[in-house]
Structure 1
Amino acid sequence: MTHLFSPISLRQLQLKNRIVVAPMCQYSAENGQATSWHQIHLGHLALSGASLLFIEATAVEERGRISAGDLGLYSDATEKALADVLSAVRRHSSMPFAIQLAHAGRKASTRVPWEGGHSVPVNEGGWIGSAPSALPFADGGEAPEALDKAGLRRVRAAFVATAKRAARLGIDAFELHAAHGYLLHQFLSPLSNRREDEYGGSLENRMRFPLEVFEAIRAALPDQPFGVRVSATDWVDGGWDVDQTVAFAQALKQRGCDFIDVSSGGLSSLQKIAVGPGYQVPFASRIRNETGIPTIAVGLITEPEQAEGILASGEADMVALARGMLYDPRWPWHAAAKLGAQVDAPPQYLRSQPREHKHLFKKE
């Protein structure tokens, strides 16, 4: 059996292979509510043959959205809309769903990417973001609100409330978004966290609020598979780095974290990223080897043989694809064909397998 198509367990969740569909923002919600686009998007990815499908970064409060088109799960209306989408997809796929619990922090209130992605000021319908410190993401941008103690309590409670809503929807696994320059990453990095209270300064202090949020969600969902997305480095001198990420992962492990999803960057426009195939895999490898916690590797993993090699060498426990899965929504099928494995397929598609791969499909 190949490593890529071997099973893995996250607590009670049994996954059939090591291929994960990464969370991908679609910027297509209406007032935070999932739409028919989400049904199409999640529906076709749920037929991909991967073992776990992440819903996109899902805002825990309205002001925590990156854009006005972001998906949310912070009200009865947003919960019902997502429930309707999931119900439709589940009629035709047994693939487990995971959710990424997110808050944009100072990166909130932007245009959608195809409209430039620029910040939307309040006088043009935007809103003020929340952050550890009143430092704008970009020069000339509006400064976010620095969260006081009441604000910290509000945000922490919002994360817990969204996690509980997701649990009611039957979500199978949960991920806390502490990467890509969003709110919890902003607390971790000394570039964005200039607080002088117990939530700023030392590494222990900068980790305090993200760990409090994790602990609160874990207390609410003690038995669910629950991990964290991290940016292993800011790619900026003097910023968040791999050494600090390892320390953070160790602290999360002590609190019952089940996996670390390892990305990088997103906090500063000054970042200098050395992009190449699998360029973030060494971060996942180091975290896995130094902490013993399972990791998900991401970032320019495009070829089945590449993914197989990452797992076979012990650099990570799973691989997640995002853009590659959009470009080729049947990537797991093609990977299984190349590696001589089998993959689930819906009965309506069973006759599509090529003659030379007549044993490729397993009926769901």
Structure 2
Amino acid sequence: MTNSTSVQALFQPFSVGNLTLSSRIVMSPMTRQFSPEGVPGPNVAAYYRRRAENNVGLIVTEGTIVDHPDASNQPNVPHLYGEAALNGWANVVAEVHEAGGRIIPQIWHMGARGQVGDYTEAEIAAIVQAFARSAAEAKRLGFDGIELHGAHGYLIDQFFWEKTNPRTDRYGGDMLKRTRFAVEVIEACREAVGPDFPIVLRFSQWKSADYGAKLAATPAELEQFLKPLIEAGVDVFHCSTRRFWEPEFEGSELNLAGWVKKLTGKPTITVGSVGLDTEFTSLFAEGKGAGIAGIDELIERLERGEFDLVAVGRALLIDPAWASKIRDGRWDELVPFTREALQTLH
């Protein structure tokens, strides 16, 4: 396999706030459930270190849950609270930094068991503070920033989307009011970490229950949606799509990350089946694997400035050295994403 486009654009430094990255490659957050009782052990530290050793500029951890009873029903998803879990993350951070990498935790609440309309305002305030405490702990542990998970139908996104937010108080109603919960989370986290500590927000138009969903149907609506989030303190938008090459709106080739950057001027991360010849959902829903795809179009878009950073998920999950192999032109050494390869995941 060959790739005619120079890959050097992927290996240029990038800075935001007090954070400088050595490459434009970001490891996507991917839930693995390898942290018994919420505590990440040495195996988790080794997992992330291997990617840092192989030219990944920024690692976004798997989702880490906040201290709230509804935050997760999965016992092996890591916590970002409690002494044992925090000590585990301190070791992860140390290993990644020793390898020359940068790492931020993705902080999440997996969602309401019923509807977001079931939460009282007092409970919402408690959840906001739980996010802020985890953000403060992330900074204390030496993480390089934080990412808030506002995508894919999890709690923040449940407030964003009209189909899952029936509230009639200040947390529901029109698009602007549906951002109120996220705004309060972002503001509380910003207060907890200070002005120069990067806050990334991951959001998506699509939902796991509806791939065709759109929070914003037009660029004008998207701009309206993003404005309060920026004012609250978001530094970078991680724009989750299923296929990075698909246009977000008719009449333009820009993808979601491209539109967000154009409308706001903020740095953006693109994501969606990078390096794979099949979009990711079919890998599981249909039991398919994925071959290796070229990245010429990705690099051309990066060089045009459509987005600033490129998040890679399954390709990096299956192959810790993916970025190094791309940099060195070792295309024939790239590992395809298959069920068999997943069995030997490391």
Report the TM-score, using the length of structure 1 for normalisation.
0.75
For residue 158 of structure 1, what is the amino acid of its counterpart?
A: A
Consecutive unaligned residues in structure 1, runs of 5 or more: 107-128, 134-145, 265-274, 340-364
| Aligned with 1:182 (options 147, 154, 175) | 154
| Aligned with 2:314 (options 316, 320, 323) | 323
For residue 261 of structure 1, what is the amino acid of its counterpart?
A: H
Question: In terms of mean alpha carbon deviation, does 26-35 or 233-242 score higher?
Answer: 233-242
Consecutive unaligned residues in structure 2, runs of 5 or more: 1-5, 249-253, 276-293, 331-346
Q: Which residue of 2 aligns with 1:172?
A: 144
For 2:97 and 2:267, the matched residues in 1 are separated by 27
The answer on whether the counterparts of 2:216 and 2:225 sit within 8 Å (CA) in structure 1 is no
| Aligned with 1:5 (options 11, 23, 27) | 11
| Aligned with 1:197 (options 155, 158, 169) | 169
| Aligned with 2:262 (options 260, 271, 289) | 289
The answer on whether the counterparts of 2:133 and 2:192 sit within 8 Å (CA) in structure 1 is no
Q: Which residue of 1 aligns with 2:327?
A: 336
Name the SS for the 1:241 alignment partner: coil
Instruction: Quote the offset at 1:176 in angstroms.
Output: 0.9
For residue 292 of structure 1, what is the amino acid of its counterpart?
A: G
Map Cα deviations across residues 82-122 of structure 1 (whole Å, 9 max, x no partner).
2233334444x12011111110013xxxxxxxxxxxxxxxx
For 2:234 and 2:135, the matched residues in 1 are separated by 15
Instruction: Quote the offset at 1:256 in angstroms.
Output: 2.9
Q: Which residue of 1 aligns with 2:251?
A: none
1:224 aligns with 2:208: no
Name the SS for the 1:64 alignment partner: coil
For 2:318 and 2:126, the matched residues in 1 are separated by 39
Q: Which residue of 1 aligns with 2:285?
A: none
For 1:90 and 1:314, the matched residues in 2 are separated by 28
For 1:103 and 1:183, the matched residues in 2 are separated by 6
The answer on whether the counterparts of 1:233 and 1:242 sit within 8 Å (CA) in structure 2 is no
For 2:12 and 2:96, the matched residues in 1 are separated by 25
Distance 1:188 1:304, change over 3 A: same
Q: How does 1:131-280 map to 2 (within 5 A)?
A: 131-133=115-117, 146-222=118-194, 223-234=196-207, 235=210, 240-243=215-218, 244-264=221-241, 276=243, 278-279=245-246
For residue 259 of structure 1, what is the amino acid of its counterpart?
A: V
For 2:298 and 2:235, the matched residues in 1 are separated by 21
Q: Which residue of 1 aligns with 2:51?
A: 45
Distance 1:258 1:277, change over 3 A: closer
Q: Which residue of 2 aligns with 1:359?
A: none
Map Cα deviations across residues 57-78 of structure 1 (whole Å, 9 max, x no partner).
1101253125221111122222
Map Cα deviations across residues 137-174 of structure 1 (whole Å, 9 max, x no partner).
xxxxxxxxx11011111100100000111111100011
For 2:19 and 2:44, the matched residues in 1 are separated by 24
For 1:3 and 1:294, the matched residues in 2 are separated by 16
Distance 1:277 1:84, change over 3 A: closer
Identical aligned residues as a percent = 30
The answer on whether the counterparts of 2:46 and 2:95 sit within 8 Å (CA) in structure 1 is no
Indicate the structure (1 or 2) with the bigger Cα radius of gyration. Answer: 1
For 1:6 and 1:77, the matched residues in 2 are separated by 37
For residue 319 of structure 1, what is the amino acid of its counterpart?
A: V
For residue 99 of structure 1, what is the amino acid of its counterpart?
A: P
Distance 1:208 1:317, change over 3 A: same
Distance 1:238 1:59, change over 3 A: closer
The answer on whether the counterparts of 2:170 and 2:177 sit within 8 Å (CA) in structure 1 is yes
Distance 1:277 1:290, change over 3 A: closer
For residue 336 of structure 1, what is the amino acid of its counterpart?
A: R
For 2:212 and 2:273, the matched residues in 1 are separated by 24
Distance 1:208 1:19, change over 3 A: same
Report the TM-score, using the length of structure 2 for normalisation.
0.79
The answer on whether the counterparts of 1:10 and 1:225 sit within 8 Å (CA) in structure 2 is yes
Instruction: Quote the offset at 1:15 in angstroms.
Output: 1.1
The answer on whether the counterparts of 2:49 and 2:96 sit within 8 Å (CA) in structure 1 is yes
Q: Which residue of 1 aligns with 2:78?
A: 71
Instruction: Quote the offset at 1:3 in angstroms.
Output: 2.0
Number of equivalent positions? 294
CA RMSD of aligned residues (A): 2.2
For 2:148 and 2:243, the matched residues in 1 are separated by 26
Name the SS for the 1:31 alignment partner: helix
Name the SS for the 2:234 alignment partner: coil
For 1:95 and 1:178, the matched residues in 2 are separated by 25
For 2:176 and 2:228, the matched residues in 1 are separated by 10
For residue 75 of structure 2, what is the amino acid of its counterpart?
A: A
Distance 1:334 1:305, change over 3 A: farther
